A and B are shown apart, each in its own frame.
Chain A
Amino acid sequence: MTVFEPELLVAMVVVLAAALFMAIKFLRIIRSFRRSSQCSSDCGCNAEKK
């Protein structure tokens, strides 16, 4: 059985948290793409549409 040292465990948690943070950031970007695709390309600007 593999025994994890507490130090290694803490380091792994920190690395995983960082990876999770970047994954969420990446997903947010993907989601923002989806939202914008609802707008016609002719409008020129999504935010300015009233």
Chain B
Amino acid sequence: MEGPVALAQITIAFAGNPNAGKTTFFNALTGLRQKVANYPGVTVERKEGPWKISERSINVIDLPGLYSLDATSLDEQIASEIIRGVNDGAARPDAVVAIVDATNLERNLFLVTQLLELDIPVVVALTMMDVFESQQHSIDLLKLGRMLGTPVVAVHAKTGRGVEELATAVETALSTKREPLLLPFPEGDVTSSAIFARYAFISDVVQETVVHGDMPRHRLSERIDSVLTNRFFGLVILVAILLLVFQTIFTWSSLPMDLLEQGFGSAAEVVRTQLPPGILADLIADGIIAGVGGVVVFLPQILLLFFFISILEDSGYMARAAFLLDKLMSRVGLHGKAFLPLFSSFACAIPGIMATRTIEDRRDRFATIMIAPFMSCSARLPVYTLMIATFFAGQSALGFISVGALLMLAMYALGILVAIAAAFILKRTLLKAPPPPFLMELPPYRLPNLRNVVQNMITRAWLFLKRAGTVILAISIILWALTYFPRAGVTEVTIDPAATVEVSAAPEGEQLRQSFAGRLGHLIEPIIEPLGFDWKIGVALIASFAAREVLVSTLSIIYNVGKEDEESQSLIEAVRSAKRDDGSPTWTPLTALTLMVFFVLAMQCMSTLAVVRRETNSWRWPVFMMAYMTALAYFAALLTYQGGRLLGFS
């Protein structure tokens, strides 16, 4: 690139990280004269337009955003190929203008250092300088240019600041030979050590050239990070925060939950007193109110869970938790980008699975999809809470930690650990591939935005109530019908004599026992008996394969239908007092724990399977997911129950 070049034939490319202000600046320079087309054979957009330099027009290409030249997504790959001159459909530009976001200097300079290693003229254009300067920071542009070995210009698309200087810098860069940047590691090495070496150089450059106006705040943030992202203390703090969250959820939600439960109980009583005894009163009280009410009483817990999640997310702490777990995830071969989809799955696996689209490699993406349903979603919360409230309420460990909160944390942790183990196996067998390097940016700490928090809570509450009012309502009605028909009196003659004796020994269960649901429960009883579950739990388990929280509705319906007297009792009391055919209690703390373990691991969501089918475009994956998760849940529950019994628990 020696000697002056005729500007009319010149093409320069704008390259930079996504959201660095590249396209805004490109639009400001080229205005409405730009052309938009696709790169040959792909759907990646190609934007180019003329830019006048010294009364002559040069061609400018706005490349797709990229974080590094070792790109993996299609957009990034095209940009990288064009810069390196290896793209079949587009010629190599004569120079590159690296658009750098001044507020994210370290991350943006990563790409710049890679560009400077190539034999191509590079000019650095710093955007977002107004924001950078408003934060009282300042930068020595000349020194930065000297250290990088290329001109650096501060630009502003709106005011036109620096456009003239940039034009001059581009002209100069085109006519002078620049020595490629030499960093102390092998060229093209994308391993972690190369990344760290590159960042070490960038860190030196930034330290030498940038003066932070809010250094005390910056230092404080770094000090907090050194504790929160510490391998040991970070994990201890994470566990303590989650324990506190769960304990608070239990404490704060108990009063509104009691009120809701009383409200639904009173509603059932009103129906019973106002309507004549019969099928309609039974349907409304035992089917609709018990079924839907059984789930809706958990609304305060759902609201509180999302209140805390939003606060942790908004304050910037969640990114630190992600950073801590990322180390563990990358060790088992999961992509760093898997954290966000997995984290979303704590609310619901469906958006989590859809969020895996950001993972470029198909095998990394499928591995994340396959483990996402292990994250304890909000539909599991009513099941965990019912079991904890019934058998472990009021108990504490070490005098101050609630056993309920500990158990809840244990269920979330079990899901995460099994997911990591499953990913470890999948990434070494069916989905074998090396994990690509991933950079994580820690956002600054800030006070949570109350509006965001409330908005998030309202959204989740609406989704929960919508689901309760549609799917849960419909399933509750169907289940009630399955427990109500055929009527005991009608079919009594068809029951064999031995069973009739048994029936009369337990009159409360007579109707349930010979109902459609009861027969189904009895059919699967031999399979679930080793887990400590009776046929009534079996009915609830089958129903919960449509949606997890249906277990609570089903138990509510079953224990209400099963009662001879018409007085409704709370679900917790009903579960506590439920008896097996031999008079022994159906539920024990061990049965409750076993059921919770089963629910952590089992694939009990039709909608999730549908999304997996859509996202993997194959029946193989949802069938595999259903099979391996259910088998795992069964054996883990078996181990819990039988192991617990061997250890002397009942």
Contact = CB atoms under 8 A, between A and B. Distances in A.
A5 B478 CA distance: 20
A36 B280 contact: no
Given A22-B475, A41-B616, A44-B365, A7 B607 contact: no
Given A7-B280, A44-B357, A18 B478 contact: yes
Interface string B585-613: 00000000000000000000011001001
Nearest to B74: A44
A15 B481 contact: yes
Interface in A28-45: 29, 32-33, 36-37, 39-42, 44-45
A19 B476 CA distance: 10
A19 B617 contact: no
B435 to A, nearest CB: 17
A21 B480 CA distance: 16
A48 to B, nearest CB: 6
B43 A18 contact: no
B357 A48 contact: yes
Contacts of A49: 43
A29 B610 contact: yes
A27 to B, nearest CB: 12
A21 B474 contact: yes
Contacts of A3: none
A38 to B, nearest CB: 9
A7 B281 CA distance: 9
Contacts of A29: 606-607, 610
A46 B614 contact: yes
Contacts of B360: 44
Nearest to B471: A25
A1 interface: no
Interface residues of B, number: 28
A41 B480 CA distance: 42
Contacts of B280: 7, 10-11
Interface in B456-503: 470-471, 473-475, 477-478, 480-481
B399 interface: no
B362 interface: yes
A41 B357 contact: no
Contacts of B606: 26, 29
B157 interface: no
A10 B473 CA distance: 16
Contact of A41 (B474, B610, B617): B617
Interface of A: 5, 7-8, 10-11, 14-15, 18-19, 21-22, 25-26, 29, 32-33, 36-37, 39-42, 44-50
9 contacts: A11-B283, A18-B473, A18-B478, A21-B470, A29-B606, A29-B610, A33-B610, A36-B613, A44-B357
The 7 closest A-B pairs by CB, nearest first: A18-B477, A18-B474, A45-B357, A41-B617, A36-B614, A29-B610, A15-B481
